[in-house]
Amino acid sequence: MTRKMGIDYGSVRIGVAISDPLGITARGIETIRWNGRDMEWAIDRIAALCSENQVDTIIVGLPRRTDGKESPSEQNATLLAKRVEEKSCVRVILKDERYTTVLANRIMTETGMKQSRKRSVVDQIAAEIILQDFLDHCHDR
């Protein structure tokens, strides 16, 4: 059985989440730390995770500005998505992800997570939100 992957793109950290084989739930699996310049390393890591987990679809969150205009981060996320699709031969879907990091921070605060742990998992939780929203939408059809 194949899985879906969610990506929360950031210029320093990329959150990665994966679905269960039935495509019902999402869980964070990794935060890829990178220097914001060497995108190939991050692309290689995502491609490896796709192979290790039998991923057939990747949902990459587009960090749109609140006014809906394209931002430099959105351009970089789009480039990452294109390069990951080429490298992994896995279908990539781009999805608006405005406010997912805000929501992830709210979830961590409400669950009482310590501040020291938040930075290491906020991107994974944002990736979970992106992926879970996609999975929920697929099951509503």
The pLDDT tens digits of the residues spanning 116-127 come to: 666 778 889 899
Which of 44, 22, 35, 10 lies closest to 122 in space, CA to CA? 10
Looking at mean pLDDT, say which of 12-16, 98-102, 105-109 comes out highest: 12-16
Residue 83 in 3-state DSSP? Answer: helix
Radius of gyration of the chain (CA): 14
pLDDT tens profile 131-141: 999 999 886 65
Please give the CATH superfamily to which domain 3-140 belongs.
Answer: YqgF/RNase H-like domain (3.30.420.140)
Choice between 114 and 62, residue whose per-residue pLDDT is larger: 62
What pLDDT is stored for residue 109 in this prediction? 79
Inform me whether the pLDDT recorded for 130 exceeds 90: yes
pTM: 0.86
Query: Is there a contact between 8 and 101 (Cβ–Cβ < 8 Å)?
Result: yes
In angstroms, rounded to a whole number, what is the distance separating the alpha carbons of residues 70 and 63? 8
